[in-house]
């Protein structure tokens, strides 16, 4: 079996040792080296090119963002950021995603070793997703743990037995994305006019980053983009992004659509979960919705998209060529939950004409 080669770059010896132990425990991952700063990492890359680099932000001699930018503009290699980013520093995380980082994992300032050991599955999955991702050169302007059960959307919201929703003039667009989704969502939302249908989004992203991500999109787009709050109305010209670490559900009261933000177990090992959003959209919007599943690792959203289709919604999957990771769309297609497969650059225009 071919193993994914990983280079760990972090100035903490404890972090380097712990990550090495975690990655080596996965039979699909091989740690080919560690480096305490980007200069050492650059020398190691000359000897052997890794499939993935895990990278800290705050390091001596050169910060991780500068190193990331150099990598992605000169010789692109998939990068997973693993850093102690605070809420204040979450703008740095958004910048890292813009520079081309595949994923971001937040490590706490205290008890880092315990956190990593408890997050073994998340860390290994992030590395493997990055290893199979498609990236382009950027133009710049420890102990083995048991696998926790993979829960379905049933733990948050039961599937509706029947849908009696009549077709109305108002449309809701529900979007789910994961690895590579930050840039895919930016391209999709930037292409929408100011009067586009109301949009609700789940992007797998750590807590505290979603607000900065939403604020950044709000600056770039003609529509309003905000991190969703409980009871926010779904309105034309507005996109609501589920806050990190909380599920988001669509609800309806009379003619008004709104969102419910709630905690609860991980669904498909994610919170927020795309399946939860899609199931609630199927239940409360039915044929008055469009479901879109974008780039991402795993299968979160595949079953929910099928439920939307069965409830009368029109469903779209991003095509393989434009995906960073063709995981979630592929699973939705396999289940038969997709009406149309489209390149990323065509999705916004289709939604505009569908409204």
- Specify whether 117 is located in the same domain as 215: no
Is 140 domain-assigned?
no
CB 250 within 8 A of CB 172: yes
Q: Which residue matches tokens 């609800």?
A: 251
Work out how many domains the chain is built from and give that number: 2
Where residue 180 falls (left for φ over 0; alpha for ψ -120 to 50; beta otherwise) is: left
Three-state DSSP at 129 gives helix
Pair 82, 168 in one domain: no
List the domain range (segments joined by +) for residue 85. Answer: 4-131
22 within domain boundaries: yes
Of the residues 56, 300, 319, 322, which is catalytic? 300
Residues 218-274 have pLDDT tens digits of 999 999 999 999 999 999 999 999 999 999 999 998 889 999 999 999 998 899 999
Q: How confident is the model at residue 148 (pLDDT cuts 50, 70, 90)?
A: low
Cβ within 8 Å of residue 300, ≥6 positions away:
176, 178, 204, 267, 268, 269, 270, 273, 274, 275, 328
What pLDDT is attached to residue 309?
96
Is 75 one of the catalytic residues? no
* Residue 334 neighbours by CB distance under 10 Å: 11
SS3 68: helix
Same domain for 298 and 212, yes or no, is yes
Contact 73, 52 (CB under 8 A): no
pLDDT > 70 fraction of the chain, expressed in percent and rounded? 88
Buried b (16+ CB within 10 A) or exposed e, 165-195: beeeebbbbbbbbbbbbbebbbebbebbeee
Q: 102 with 161, same domain?
A: no
* Annotated catalytic residue, options 178, 196, 212, 322: 178
Q: Are the CB atoms for 285 and 165 separated by under 8 Å?
A: yes
Whether 90 is catalytic is no
In this prediction the pTM is: 0.75
Bridge partners of 261, per DSSP, are: 248
Cβ neighbours, 10 Å, residue 234: 25
Distance CA 170, CA 196 (A): 10
- Beta-carbon contacts of 55 under 8 Å, excluding residues fewer than 6 positions away, are 9, 10, 64, 67, 68, 79, 80, 81, 82, 83, 101
Residues 323-336: tens digit of each pLDDT: 999 999 999 999 99
- Which CATH number belongs to the domain containing residue 342 in this structure? 3.40.50.180
Active site residue 280: no
> Same structural domain for residues 123 and 177?
no
pLDDT tens readout for residues 36-81: 999 999 999 988 999 999 999 888 888 888 999 989 888 899 999 9
> What confidence tens digit (pLDDT) does each residue in 152-196 have?
667 666 676 554 455 555 899 999 999 999 999 999 999 999 999
What is the widest separation between alpha-carbon atoms in the chain? 64
Q: Which of 217, 243, 223 is nearest to 87 (CA)?
A: 243
Average predicted confidence (pLDDT) for the chain? 88
Q: Do the Cβ atoms of 305 and 279 come closer than 8 Å?
A: no
116 & 166 share domain? no
Q: Which of 204, 270, 280, 299 is catalytic?
A: 204
Whether residue 339 sits in one domain with residue 307: yes
CATH number (domain holding residue 110): 3.40.50.2300
In which element (H, E) is residue 5 found?
strand 4-9
Residues 119 and 163 in one domain: no
């Amino acid at each position: 079996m071919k193993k994914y080669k990983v280079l760990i770059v972090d100035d903490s010896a404890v972090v380097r040792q712990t990550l090495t132990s975690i990655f080596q425990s996965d039979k699909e991952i091989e740690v080919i080296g560690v480096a305490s700063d980007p200069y050492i990492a650059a020398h190691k890359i000359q000897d052997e090119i890794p499939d993935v680099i895990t990278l800290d932000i705050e390091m001596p001699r050169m910060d991780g963002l500068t190193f990331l930018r150099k990598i992605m503009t000169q010789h692109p290699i998939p990068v997973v950021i693993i850093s102690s980013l605070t809420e204040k520093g979450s703008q740095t995380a958004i910048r890292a995603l813009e520079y081309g980082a595949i994923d971001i994992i937040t490590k706490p300032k205290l008890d880092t070793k315990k956190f990593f050991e408890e997050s073994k599955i998340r860390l290994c999955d992030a590395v493997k997703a990055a290893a199979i991702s498609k990236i382009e050169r950027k133009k710049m302007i420890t102990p083995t743990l048991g696998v926790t059960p993979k829960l379905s959307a049933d733990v948050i919201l039961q599937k509706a037995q029947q849908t009696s929703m009549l077709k109305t003039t108002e449309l809701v667009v529900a979007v789910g994305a994961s690895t590579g989704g930050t840039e895919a969502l930016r391209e999709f939302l930037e292409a929408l006019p100011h009067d586009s249908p109301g949009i609700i989004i789940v992007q797998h992203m750590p807590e505290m980053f979603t607000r900065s991500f939403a604020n950044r999109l709000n600056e770039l787009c003609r529509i309003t983009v905000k991190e969703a709050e409980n009871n926010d109305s779904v309105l034309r010209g507005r996109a609501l992004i589920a806050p990190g670490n909380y599920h988001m559900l669509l609800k309806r009261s009379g003619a008004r659509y709104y969102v419910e933000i709630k905690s609860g177990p991980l669904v498909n090992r994610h919170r927020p979960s795309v399946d939860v959003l899609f199931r609630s959209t199927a239940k409360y919007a039915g044929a008055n919705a469009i479901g879109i599943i974008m780039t991402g690792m795993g299968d979160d959203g595949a079953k929910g998209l099928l439920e939307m289709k069965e409830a009368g919604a029109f469903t779209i999957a991003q095509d393989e060529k434009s995906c960073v990771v063709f995981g979630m769309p592929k699973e939705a297609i396999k289940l038969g939950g997709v009406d149309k497969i489209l390149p990323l650059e065509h999705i916004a225009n289709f939604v505009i004409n569908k409204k």
